[in-house]
Structure 1
Amino acid sequence: MENSSDEESGISDSEIEEYAEKPYQALRTGNYKVWSLKGNLRCPFCAGKKKQEYALKDLHQHASGVAKGASHRSAKQKATHLALAKFLEVDLGFKPIQTSQPAEAEPQPNESKEKEIFCWPWMGIVVNILEDAKTAKQLADSGSLVKFFSKYRPLGVEVFNNEQEQTANAVVQFEKDMTGYKNLLNFEKSFQVVCHSKEEWIANKGSLGSNIYGWVACADDYHSEGKIGEYLRKNTELKALSDIFQQGKQACETIVNLANEIDLQNQNMVEMESMVNEKAMSLSRMVEEKEELQQIFYAEIQKMQQMARDHVGKILQEREKMMHELDAKRKELDRRTRELSKCEVITVRERQKLEKEKQQNDERNKSLYMASMEQQKADENVLRLVEKQKREQEEALKKILQLEKELDAKQKLQLEIEELKGKLEITKHLGNDDDAAVQKKLKMLTEELNEKIEKMNSLEDLNQVLMVKQRQSNDELQPARKELITGLSGILQSNRTNIGVKRMGEINPKAFETECKERFTGDEVQIKASEESTLWQEKLTDPAWHPFKITEIDGKTKEVIDEQDENLKRLKEKWGAEVYETVAAALLEINEYNPSGRYPVNELWNFKEGRKATVKEVVSYVFKNLRAKRKR
């Protein structure tokens, strides 16, 4: 429901009654609803309040109280509640009990009225309309008469001029509801009070003077001759008052039932549209996350390919360098052999020595040749392994691309299924069981939905197979990672290397040592630093101390250090920011790697980049060190 009054600018207290006319008309036309879906009365201008169910008396009391206004009430609130009180009194027929004067009774038909036949819709008759002597203005036109009788709220006035007598008669039209009936009775009573009713008009037929007479149109007026009778026979019908009241009551009940049913259907439609929109937004978020993961994956693939190319280039360069060194040594041995063969052997010992050196040179030459052959074979094996790794990476890339295509197709199918479900539900609620076209469309949508669901199930099975294969690959890497951590703990447990084993959750005592050097001297530096680092390491292992808080970063909840924790605040005040950052880093590590046990654990670490090292990086680094040791 649109609330057009919310868009209006502020009003002053002097404009309340004028401004109240707009919300009053909106209440009459149904833009503001005082009936809830359960059939209870509610205040349409206090939708956010807890109390939403009122009796008619209580709702009128609420509206009147706000309209009279307290100091904190705005002029707009007073105006809207004044319109609500007026609507309850005028349109719903509620009459508040007043202490100073008796409440005006509802118009109740007496026995004579019930038996009397009226023209329906309600009509009033005005005769002997002459020029107004005071203003010298002719009243015999519709606009003037509507203004003249405005307090009775006529729908319109039909004027019939009598040129011979220079007078005019008129038929005043009223609304069909109880409000119109009440206004009609007040219209007739105004003439009866001044003795200008129908009886006086008949009695004073010869001496009417300049007075106008009026009454309610009944059966004798309907059958009368002249323009008024013709107009009434053409535009009205004769009905008893009891029949009119019964018909109005049935019509009101029908309208209320239809309005409730429409409100219920509209609410169901809104709920279904909300569900469809929610599903569409969820799928859109999934697509965005998939695209982000895809970009990260492509970046990692490119990085791995570049690393593989660099590794192969380094191997080829080392092979070429070794080949040059072997050729140089072979040439040197040949030169020395030629020199030895040319030298004259003076003594047997020298000759034997020369023979022995020749044999040693031959053996060394043979060993160098065998080493060169072995190196060549090793290089060929490395090239084959590189090619094999490249093929495996290409196959893995193809599988991952296939998986992404299947995921895209699955997500597209899910979106289509949700849209079809939404269309199907809307068609079910809007359609009629007897409407053949709607049934045919419903059947087509159901068949299309079943086909999409079967296709999505087949894609789901394929996706599960690919996910199982990927999970098996990850499971195979975990034991290898644990073996590397166990075997390399004593070899690479140092942050002086690029790749090594790091104790996650262990406080680095260097920060305490640096701070203690500025405060203490001699052996007291190491003793105090050791005491403080040990003390805070024990606090880290205490499960009762959990200085973390949950916060939302980039739309995701994350656990971060609570800087308002008393222990951390005292630490920062006593030892400074550097020690605080060291303890906070150890807290984050132990909360990530071992939150249940609360003790430090070993992890393969890339000290150069400050992150967890991959199995491939560790193996590459170990083999590189072994080759360096072999060269030395």
Structure 2
Amino acid sequence: MENSSGEESEFSDSEIADYKDKPYQQLRDGTLKVKYSNGILKCPFCAGKKKQNFKYKDLHQHASGVSKGSSNRNAKQKANHLALTLYLENELAHEAETPLKAAAPAAAATVSDKKDLFCWPWTGIVVNVVKEPDTEDDIENTGYWMKKFAKFKPEAIELLAADDANQSAQVLVRFNNDWIGFKNAMVFEKYFEASHHSKKEWSDAESPKDSKIYAWLARANDFELQGAIGDYLRANRELKTVADLDQEAVQTRNKAVVMLASEIDMRNENIDDLQIKFNQKSMSLSRMIEEKDNLHQAFYEETRKMQRLAREHVKRVLDEQEMLNAELEKRKKKLDAWSKELNKREALTEREKQKLDEEKQKNDMQNSSLHMASIEQKKADESVLRLVEEQKREKEEALKKVLELERQLDAKQKLEMEIEELKGKLQVMKHLGDEDDTAVQEQIKKMNDELQAKMEEMDGVEELNQTLVVKERQSNDELQEARKELIKGMQDMLGTRANIGVKRMGDIDLSAIHELTIKKLKERYDAEEAQIKVTELCSLWQDRLKNPDWHPMKVVAFDGAHKEVIDENDQLLKDLKAEWGTGVYDLVVTAYKEMNEYNPSGRYVISELWNFKENRKATLKEVISYILKNVKSLKRKRG
């Protein structure tokens, strides 16, 4: 967000209207988010505050109030909130709250009087079910009645015992206990009313002549009947009005709505808290990542700058030395010529002779100065040799100290064994001897004295051992520092053309890449563009080597152990091999292995002393020997 980006630019209150356009555009293109799920509105410029959920009216009031001036708000915050006010008015005007209308419950069915008492669950009564020879089995089967009344969608069929006197039975049809079931029950009753086989016709006909069934919807008077129907209804049904059921449904629905609203409020509150924490963590993480990137970039730039300055310094010193040597030789030759010329004129007049003497004195002084310069140059060369010899001597002393340490360790182990042996003998003497035996007591005393002497010698060896360990560590640190100085100061002297040189570990060989790919690239591009493409290819893969997220390695079992090897199924490496061949593939894989070995955490190129002949890390002894040879050859060239 803009208010957390770290920019410190400020402007006056008179310029607020001019600076509102940028945040307004960020609101329109979605860079700054206002509307969230479930219709929640939030201020993107006040992300760290606890209150974050707004209605349209409240958010508009908040943005308008901040933009119109508060003593503790700066001009930038006012401009941001002015942009938010315009965005709400122009883009989110449809989010303004409109009064909600309560939905009227739909009428379940058309009922003439809501105070009529019905048997609930809704039940249809079917009478005049006459048993006849051809239908006797069917009317005692509930499946028959379910099929017969299928268009009314009954829920169940209940058969009552038949009247043996007139072979007549009663059937109770139960419908769903909701409003849809009530609607189906009313349609069931209207159907029989339309065919003149309702309760009214059944009551009017004392003994119906036909065998057709009569049916109606059970009400209070049926509930109070004496007989099988009334007994069954009183035992399994309740009397309720439509208004009662309507009120129960409204209460149930309202209760569910209240519970759901409460749960929604709780979840929204949890979401708000999580959103606040998420915003805070995101802002903190963004700042940390930015600071880390800045520090890494600064470190990388400073390292490159120091390396460049070191190379330039060494080159400048060597160039100046060559120039001084050339100037010195030139002046020597010139002075020699003058000396010869002066000798030829020695027979001239006294005045000329005097003049020649003065010239000679001047010439002698210049010769003396040149001689001193030559001596200083010789001292500088000897200083370089002395430094190399001193490093060689320090390494030899370190090796001697390691050998001395090993010798002291052997002596320590030998003393420990002798001490344990004396302790054992002493214990044996104590167990076997008699306390009154004077000879035994003297022997024990002698052995105790010998044991004490061995223990004191052991302490001395231990102290010497610790001293040697400390010195060995110091020597090792000095050798590591010497190695760093050699890498740092001798990069121009040690080249890759010689057997010993400085190698950049994890650096892809641009010249080798060029040699392997230039022919194929020249088939696609002209010569100049092909050179650029080679450089781009090398730079692309060098950046991938520095990426810690790319790890084309896998673990395999080898000789009973596990080791990491290159994953040949890595998609990037497969594409590289397919496009540019095995040679380029091997160069990239070699550079990745070097970086993974020498700098897996930092993942940037580091310099190392290297034995190019044997393709391994060079020892200090090899480097010093090479430097001595080079210094002697340089001296011979200058001489």
TM-score (norm 2): 0.34
Higher relative contact order (CA 8 A, sep 6+): 2
Larger radius of gyration: 2
